[in-house]
Structure 1
Amino acid sequence: MSNSIEFHFNKTEDSSGYLLWQVTTLWQRKIKRELDTIDLTHTQFVLLASLAWLSKNQEIVTQIEIANHSKTDRMMVSKVLRTLQEKGFITRKEHEIDTRAKAITLTETGGKILQRALTMVEQVDINFFSILKDEVKPFNRNMLELITENQ
C-alpha cells in the first residue's frame, strides 16, 4: 500500500513545510526547556509578552486583542489567561465600555516572571538563529511576508 503513495517532492529537504515543521519543533523544544525552569509554558509566555507589548501603547487591552496580536485561537487564549490569572500573573476585569469584553492587565508578579522569561527566550532566539549570520534579517522579512500573505 505505502509504495503506491505519491509525493510531490522527491526528497524531504525539498518540502518547505516539512523543513519548517522540523525547525519549529527544534526551536520550541529549546524554548520549552528554558521556560520549564520557571513553570511557564510557551503559550503562557507568548500571551504575557503580547499583553505587555500591547500595554505599551494602550491603556486597556482585551482578550480579543491578545488573541489577534498573537494569532492564536480566542477560546484557547481565554483558557490560558484563566491559568495566568490563577498564577497571579494577570488580572481580568470587566471592560468599562464593552461589558462582553475583559480588560487584562499584567500584575507586578507577572511583570517579573515575564522579564525573566523574555531574557531566556531572547537568548534562545539569539543562539538558535545565529547560525544564519547575515541572513537573519532577510529570513525575518521572508517570514513576515509569509504571515502577511497567508492571513
Structure 2
Amino acid sequence: MTGQGPGWDLSSLAGPQASPGFKLWHEFMLWQRGLNARLKPFGLTQPQFAILAVCGWLTRDGQDATQRDVIDFLGMDRMHVSQIATRLERDKLIERPTSTADQRSKRVRLTPLGRERLVGAMPVVETYDQQFFAARETS
C-alpha cells in the first residue's frame, strides 16, 4: 500500500484481513451483534448478560460477591462494569448494597427479577454460542 500517504507502508501485513488481531475483533463483533439480537427480547445486551451471569455464578451458593470480584472475573474495565451495573440496578436486576466490611466496596447480587431474566436468557446464549462456534469449526 505504498504511495498512499505517510504511514501506509509501515505494516508488514498485506492488509487488515491478514492481522490476527483484526480477525479476532471482527469475529467478536459478529458474535456480539448476533448475541445482542437474541438478548433483545430479554432487555439485555451481551455485556449486561455477562455481568448478570457472573453475579449469578459468584453468588450461586449464597456467597457474597463484590463488584470488584465481578470486574476481576470478567477482566473488564472498572468504569465500564460500574456503568453497566448502575443500569442493571436501575432496571432492578441486581442489588448493590455497600459492603459491611468495607464502606468503599459494593456487594452485588441478583434480584428475583434478575435471576428470572438470567434463567430465561442462559439457554438462548448457550444455544447461540454452540451454533456460532460450531459454524466456525467447520469452515
TM range (shorter): 0.7 to 0.9
User: Is 1:48 the counterpart of 2:52 in the alignment?
Assistant: yes
CA offsets, 1:68-126, max 9 Å, x none?
11111111211211111111111111112111111111111100101122111111100
How far apart are the structure 1 equivalents of 2:62 and 2:18?
Answer: 44
Could you tell me how far apart the structure 2 residues matched to 1:87 and 1:12 are?
A: 39
Structure 2 stretches of 5 or more lacking a match?
Answer: none
Identical-pair percentage: 30
Q: 1:106 corresponds to which letter in structure 2?
A: L
Q: Report the structure, 1 or 2, having the larger strand content.
A: 1
For the pair 1:102 / 2:106, whether they are aligned, the reply is: yes
**Structure 2 Cα separation of the partners of residues 37 and 126 of structure 1:** 20
Secondary structure, in 3 states, of the residue corresponding to 1:99?
A: coil
What stretches of structure 1 of length at least 5 have no aligned partner? 134-151
Which one-letter code corresponds to 1:62 in the other structure? T
1:85 to 71, 83, 89: 89
Equivalent-residue separation in structure 1 for 2:33 and 2:47 (angstroms): 13
Q: For the residues of structure 2 that align with 1:57 and 1:3, how far apart are their CA atoms?
A: 59
TM-score computed with the length of structure 1 as normaliser: 0.80
Which residue number in structure 2 is paired with residue 20 of structure 1? 24
